[in-house]
Each structure stands twice: as C-alpha cells, then as structure tokens.
Amino acid sequence: MELVVFVIAAAMVLVGAVGVIVRSNPVHAALSLILTLFGVAVMFVALEAHFVAAVQVIVYAGAIVVLFLFVIMLLGVDRAEDLKAEPFRLQRPLAAVLGLGTAGLVIASVVSARDAIGSGGALQTPDATGDGDSNIRQLARSVFGDYVVAFELTSVLLVVAVVGTVMLTRRIKTGKGD
Amino acid sequence: MLSAATPTTTWYLVLAALLFAIGAVGVLVRRNPLVMFMCIELMLNAVNLSFVALAKRLGDIGGQTTVFFVMVVAAAEVVVGLGIIVSIMRRRPGATADDVAELKG
C-alpha cells in the first residue's frame, strides 16, 4: 500500500516537474507545477507530516500558484513561446549535462550513505499515540518554543516583502515615466 | 505482494534529487522569467521533501519546522520576484531573461 502511494505520488511529482520545463505556455507550466506540489503534499502525508502537507496545499498550491497565474494573466504573457529558439549554442546540452551530473552525484551520495544515516527515535504519530493532534502539537512546541525568535522574524520578513513590492511596482504619478 | 517493499528514506531522497535536477535544468534552459521562478519553486520543494523524509527517519520534528520556514521565505521571495517581473514587463512587454541583461552598468 505504501509502495502504491509512493509510486503514484512520485509519478505525479516527476510528470509535473517535466511539464513545467517543457510546456511552452506559461499557464500550462503553472498547472503542471500544481500537479508536482500535490504530489509532494501526498508524500508529506505518507511521511507523517500532516500539518506541513496541509500548509503545502493551502500556501503553495493555493496562494503561490494563484499568484503566478494572476501575474501571467495581468501581464498577458499567456501565449506559447517559441521553445525552438536557443539563446546560444550548446546551452541545452550543457544544461542537460549539469542536470544529469547533479542528479547523479546526489543520488550516488544518498545511496552510498543510506546506512550511515542514523535512525533516531520515532516521531509521535497519530497512529502510535492515538492522539490525532500529535503532529500539530509537536510542531507547535517546536515553532513557538525552540524557534520562536525565527518565527517572529518571519513576520518582519513578510512585512518587508510586502512593503518592498508595493514600492517596486507603484507608478509615480508626478514623474514623466511610469 | 506489493507491500513487500516499503519505500525507505533513500527512495524519497533519490526522488528529491531528481526533482532538484529537473528544476535546475529548467532554470538554465527556460527564458521566460515566470517559468524560471516556477523552476526555483520546484527546487525548493525538492529540498522540503528531503527535510521531511529525514525528519521521519531521525525522529526529529525540527525538519518539519524548517520546511515551515522555507515555505514562508518562498512566499516572500515569490512576492518580491513577481513584483520585479511586473515592473520589468510593464516597461518591456515580452521581455525574456536575456533582455534584463540591459539593466547592467
């Protein structure tokens, strides 16, 4: 059963990821991205990270991809672009070599280290504890306990990002340019 | 029969490596800045997947906490990046990543 879930989710992730880089229309690329993000969310559930899976669906597949689609529609770039044009020769072969090299090296190191990764104690899972909220409770203790300063700083980060974006994109009414 | 092999942490890490490589190739070959951004999201998700896989393996909730922070930073990054893209596209409709090189100097 776990194997079936893994295979289906992995297929979603990889098909979506390839779709993002080969679809010529940015809207189709964004929709492929949703497929990948849902596949990753399924894997999070399989890995007993229930809260993170929910946040993945709400924030990533919901907010971020909608923001992408919103900008695509706003700018009117929802046309297929010509993927035949290559900015300079050898770009794609070099990119393919780099991609295969990255994947190969990381996979080789992961496989060679598969026994070296220790296995610590088990997470408190709902199945083990009989408490449906155990993942959320554990995560909340971590975020609001050990990492509370970082959590507060993310609120500063979000405010700075929003204010910065408003400054970047506003039109100056008095100036000649926009 | 199918339950004979259960996916281990290594499977998830291998999948994360593949996803990261696909994202990296996408950033290198695509010229539309929006699609390049989506490929960055793919790479961030690959890293999140390996964090969660290792959180389960090591029995440490810190991995999931890190994913939470990565998502917040990714949201902020998308907001700023899309703002920059909007202001570039407003001046030069249909700009690709190559055209933005004219900003230099």
Query: For residue A1, what is the domain's CATH number?
Result: 1.20.120.1200
Q: Is residue A55 part of a domain?
A: yes
**Domain end position, chosen among A46, A76, A106:** A76
Q: Is residue A63 part of a domain?
A: yes
**Domain end position, chosen among A76, A110, A131:** A76
Q: How far apart are the CA of A2 and the nearest CA of chain B, in angstroms?
A: 6
Residue A178's pLDDT is what? Answer: 47
Domain of residue A147 covers: 142-171
**Residues A11-49: tens digit of each pLDDT:** 999 999 999 999 888 899 999 999 999 999 999 999 988
Q: Is residue A22 part of a domain?
A: yes
Residue B59 has pLDDT above 90, yes or no: no
Q: Is residue A15 part of a domain?
A: yes
**Domain end position, chosen among A61, A76, A91:** A76
Distance CA A29, CA B27 (A): 13
- CA-nearest residue to A51 within chain B is B64
Tell me what the pLDDT averaged over chain A comes to: 86
Does the interface ipTM go beyond 0.90?
no
Number of domains in chain A: 2
Q: Is residue A26 part of a domain?
A: yes
Q: Is residue A94 part of a domain?
A: no
**b/e A20-49 (16+ beta carbons within 10 angstroms → b):** bbebebbbebbbbbbbbbbbbbbbbebbbb
Q: Is residue A21 part of a domain?
A: yes
**Residues B2-56: tens digit of each pLDDT:** 456 778 888 899 999 999 999 999 999 888 888 999 999 999 999 999 999 999 8
Q: Is residue A57 part of a domain?
A: yes
Which residues in chain A touch residue B93, judged by CB atoms under 8 angstroms apart?
75-76
- For testing contact with chain B, the best of A14, A110, A136 (most B CBs within 10 A): A110
**Residues A137-175: tens digit of each pLDDT:** 889 999 999 999 999 999 999 999 999 999 888 876 665
Model pTM above 0.95: no
Are the Cβ atoms of A67 and B78 closer than 8 angstroms?
Answer: yes
Q: How far apart are the CA of B85 and the nearest CA of chain A, in angstroms?
A: 9
